[in-house]
A and B are shown apart, each in its own frame.
Chain A
Amino acid sequence: DGGITQSPKYLFRKEGQNVTLSCEQNLNHDAMYWYRQDPGQGLRLIYYSQIVNDFQKGDIAEGYSVSREKKESFPLTVTSAQKNPTAFYLCASSFQQQTGGYTFGSGTRLTVV
């Protein structure tokens, strides 16, 4: 079955460490997105990528980095520069036309200890 897979489901990080969240899709989608979710704030866009080897900053890109070397993969690195990284991170993908909406992964909960 086609879908979008995020791993790990739970992640613990010490302050000052970088950590990378994985997102893989086998839907042949062109575009991929990373959102951060905090209680009461909905979803906020971190980065997105419309095509391979290209990506754009979203609304809250500071302290994060991404790469898009393959169509299927869009990993997110949370760097030590991110001041408040504890959150629920959601990856999504879509076709370029986006008329079908986004398909979401099941999320990664990152906790900084």
Chain B
Amino acid sequence: AQSVTQPDIHITVSEGASLELRCNYSYGATPYLFWYVQSPGQGLQLLLKYFSGDTLVQGIKGFEAEFKRSQSSFNLRKPSVHWSDAAEYFCAVMVGNKLVFGAGTILRVKS
């Protein structure tokens, strides 16, 4: 079955440090991939998406993600984390006409 795995439940980084959140997917065809962010008690906001073409995609808030077919990965990165980036991050893959989400990674930022 198609699935999305986010191996890290929690990640803590220092403000100003770089960030990489991991996402692996299991899907036969070329996937449509997404990263969303959720602040506590709020809905999800789309950070970026990949459908085809350039494997490095830029998103909002300074985030980027790289699609690596050989590794079935779509990791999210940011060069310098700000305290306001503390939130939960979800990777998702479009399966047919539905989005399937990973379990999420909670990012904590320490000053």
Contacts and interface: CB of A to CB of B under 8 A. Distances in A.
B75 to A, nearest CB: 17
A27 interface: no
Dominant SS at the A interface?
Answer: strand
Chain A contact patch, size range = 20 to 34
A107 B41 contact: yes
B101 interface: yes
A41 B103 contact: yes
B44 A104 contact: yes
Interface stretch (B13-21, B45-53, B66-74, B77-85): B45-53
A45 interface: yes
Given A90-B43, A98-B94, A99-B32, A43 B101 contact: yes
A34 B97 CA distance: 14
Contacts of A109: 41
B42 interface: yes
A40 B103 contact: yes
Given A31-B97, A101-B49, A107-B41, A42 B90 contact: yes
B31 interface: no
Interface string A75-107: 000000000000010101000001111111111
Nearest to B47: A101
A31 B94 CA distance: 14
Given A58-B98, A98-B97, A42 B43 contact: no
Contacts of B46: 101-103
A101 B90 CA distance: 13
Given A43-B90, A107-B41, A101 B34 contact: yes
A47 to B, nearest CB: 11
Interface of A: 4, 6, 31, 33, 35, 40-43, 45, 48, 50, 58, 88, 90, 92, 98-107, 109
